[in-house]
Structure 1
Amino acid sequence: MALDEIIFRRLKKLPPLDCTIVPGSTPVIAFGRFRSAKVATISLNPSYREFHIVKGKRRFHNLKSLGLSRYEDINEYHMHQVLDYCERYFKRPGIVYKEWFNSISSFLRGCTDYDYYDGTACHLDLSQWATLNILGKLNTKQKKAFTSTGDLELLAGIIKHTQINILFHILFLKWSNNIKRDSKIFWDKA
């Protein structure tokens, strides 16, 4: 199956029930130019902050901004709108969630010479749904439902059909004003 078909199927799936998904949000397929990136960072899921309006701009589309009320009504035109915001995430001035991505970008540049901002790196998530609660606060039933909506199929499709050769698992823990970083090479396709 072609990557665009996997993405299209993923976008049309309903969010899992009772998992505190940001109402009306669309799945965040990727952050940055995932089709041409050589390296990807990966975490659990997007922050609810990604659906806040920043300086009058949206970071990502939601159903309302697409003129829709149901996921089932997403068509190829809507898919391309969603993908445009995903792929240009690091190129659109003033919208990047810098508190998260700038620290990781610094780490990537320091150890790989790849970067989100030049398109050689992108960010992916195990689940593409943004939640109001952090995943750790979801119960076992919610966590199972959370990853049963095609998320892993999409992640596998992106890895299979792109040039991404290395995945870094990123975990950031904030303690006071300091950030403790635990990053590991998760997978190397080469």
Structure 2
Amino acid sequence: MAKPNMISKEKLIQLAKECLADKGIEKFTLRSVAEKAEVTQGTVYYHFRTKEQLLLDIVKDVCDRSWNEVAQEEDVIKQALESAKSRCGSDSFYHKLFFTLIVAGLNNEKIKEQLGSVLEQENKALAGNLTKIWAQSPVTGVSLEGWGVLFNAIVDGIALQALMIKNFPVEKAYEGLEQLVALLSNLAMREEGE
């Protein structure tokens, strides 16, 4: 028996994540979310007009939660890298979803626009966190905003390779990225001292 329409959008997102984990992206439907939530499909459609909109909201929720957790940490950059690494692998739920939406966004302007907004928010969050360790960019001509974009692209590139290459060395890739951040941080400190 379906419950009355007294379910929050946030609760539906949580249950949709569970549905995705149980069924996978290929078998994920709004009907399966309604069944999991014990509500009518109309209730799910009320909050999310399309399956893609629900998937986008899941991506946004994962990003927001991740950045909120990272912001609470003392060493935000190290925590951001740990968080990104934890979502990286051959069966990464988040990145499978993210890249599936990217493909859909290539032919759907609304999805493209919303994913672009998610990426812009991540770029800003990265740049904002970099200001906590760098007073200025360690490389002349590259702004902190530019570093946010570059680091976001590197993380997504590592995730894509981890999804596509069997036995991709995620640990080694992130060790290299941590060394790059450390090197750049040393350069930034030298620049400040001069």
For the criterion TM > 0.5, the same-fold answer is no
Give 1 or 2: higher helix fraction: 2
Instruction: State the TM-score, normalizing by the size of structure 1.
Output: 0.31
Structure showing greater relative contact order (alpha-carbon pairs closer than 8 Å, 6 or more residues apart): 1
Who wins on radius of gyration, i.e. which is larger?
2
